[in-house]
């Protein structure tokens, strides 16, 4: 297929092509089934750790002072903040599908002449997806690549992908903003948090292209 002047190729069976690319496809397919990708879980984990860290010193101080009323209040406040993040995680897993993961899976299935057909590169895949989104309507793209044969349970003819994805991404950005407010940056997680913030910015860019 050709999109925006670039030709793309694929193995006949996207889950049984080159060994390394096959493993990448299987890993992303598992993310699609769970409706939660690795980066979201990393962001969620850092946010939870940040919340716990925020209350840790105060909780330890309350224990030393045997301030049990204050301690209970601190635990309740911490629990409420964590429950908000768990709520969003639960809502995400209730989505009927995850279009961004469909794009990610398509980036494994299709490769251009500049790529190594035996290996998937996540950074280049993101650039490739942005190119697809810039030059081809979402519905037309998924119709063109025949995801029905790839994911039999997903029928694009019965879903308004544009409306559904817009609402899904808006919710995701709202959740990531909550995550970022809770982050506690340390020497150990500085690089990870920087990459997660960059991911959020790329998501905003992707939303702009699809609007």
Q: Which long-range contacts (CB under 8 A, 24 or more apart) does 173-181 make?
A: 173/200, 173/203, 173/204, 173/207, 174/88, 175/85, 175/88, 175/92, 176/43, 176/200, 176/203, 178/47, 178/84, 178/85, 178/88, 179/43, 179/44, 179/46, 179/47, 179/85, 180/47
Q: Delimit the domains of the chain by residue range.
A: 2-48+86-210
pLDDT confidence of residue 87: 92
Across residues 14-31, what is the average pLDDT?
72
pLDDT digits (tens, 9 = 90+) for 126-180: 889 989 988 888 777 877 777 655 444 545 555 566 777 778 888 888 898 889 8
Residues in contact with 171: Cβ distance below 8 Å, sequence separation at least 6, in sequence order: 88, 91, 92
Asked whether the CA dihedral 164, 170, 174, 177 is positive or negative, the reply is positive
Output 52 or 167, whichever has higher pLDDT: 52
Residues 6+ apart with CB under 8 A from 50: 182, 183, 184
Q: What is the mean pLDDT of residues 5-18?
A: 75
Look over the chain and give the mean of its residue pLDDT values, rounded to a whole number.
Answer: 82
Q: What is the pLDDT of residue 82?
A: 95
pLDDT digits (tens, 9 = 90+) for 77-88: 999 999 999 999
pLDDT digits (tens, 9 = 90+) for 102-130: 888 889 888 999 998 888 888 899 889 98
Give the predicted TM-score (pTM) of the model: 0.75
CB 20 within 8 Å of CB 120: yes
Residue 152 has what pLDDT?
Answer: 41
Contacts of 81 (CB under 8 A, 6+ apart): 51, 182
């Amino acid at each position: 297929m050709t999109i925006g002047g670039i030709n793309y190729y694929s193995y006949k069976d996207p889950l049984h092509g080159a060994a390394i690319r096959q493993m990448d496809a299987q890993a992303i397919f598992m993310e699609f089934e769970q409706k939660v990708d690795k980066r979201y879980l990393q962001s969620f984990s850092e946010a939870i750790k940040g919340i716990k860290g925020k209350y840790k010193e105060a909780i330890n101080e309350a224990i030393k002072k045997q301030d049990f009323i204050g301690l209970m209040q601190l635990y309740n406040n911490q629990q409420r903040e964590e429950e908000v993040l768990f709520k969003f995680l639960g809502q995400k897993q209730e989505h009927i599908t995850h279009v961004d993961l469909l794009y990610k899976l398509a980036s494994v299935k299709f490769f251009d002449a500049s790529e190594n057909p035996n290996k998937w590169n996540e950074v280049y895949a993101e650039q490739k997806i942005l190119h697809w989104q810039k030059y081809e309507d979402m519905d037309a793209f998924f119709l063109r690549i025949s995801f029905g044969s790839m994911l039999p349970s997903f029928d694009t003819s019965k879903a308004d992908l544009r409306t559904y994805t817009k609402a899904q991404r808006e919710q995701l950005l709202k959740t990531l903003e909550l995550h970022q407010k809770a982050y506690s940056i340390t020497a150990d997680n500085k690089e990870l948090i920087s990459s997660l913030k960059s991911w959020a910015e790329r998501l905003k860019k992707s939303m702009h292209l699809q609007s």
